[in-house]
Structure 1
């Protein structure tokens, strides 16, 4: 029985990282998105700042994605509407 190996994902990870860096802070679609990388506690504080400044009920604010990196660093993307009509 043949065993299949998982292909290396290094190239894909580099492309995703490059895309995120190039598009950080850009508005895509109807949402404003911003990506941050910081230590865990600072990341929590930054997310709280966004929710305080842009309440979820009015701006649909949310942590769109997040991942833990080496050294207790968190990379996360915040998303919100540009205005609260």
Structure 2
């Protein structure tokens, strides 16, 4: 018996290279996260945009964490599933 051959991995390599170039990275838990630091009224508007675009019931959208910074700036992280499957 000869040495086993490896399957071609060109497709996987292209996919990984594309994802890295586009900055797409899913954490191990599968959620997409984005962190913002915005003035309070703009932060509310941004969170509302996320909930309108990715409804909580389908994407499990949530404000994962938030904190107040000086000058009424809110730093917060939004979390959602990548698809509504």
Match of 2:45, SS? helix
Per the normalisation by structure 1, the TM-score is 0.69
Deviation sequence 1:12-46 (CA, Å, 0-9, x none) = xxxxxxxxxxxxx8431210000000000000000
Per the normalisation by structure 2, the TM-score is 0.69
Which runs of structure 1 show a deviation greater than 6 angstroms over 4 or more consecutive aligned residues? none
Q: Which runs of 5+ in 2 are unaligned?
A: 1-23
Aligned residue in 1 for 2:62:
62
Q: Which runs of 5+ in 1 are unaligned?
A: 1-24
RMSD of aligned alpha carbons: 1.2
Q: CA deviation at 1:57?
A: 0.3
Match of 1:27, SS? coil
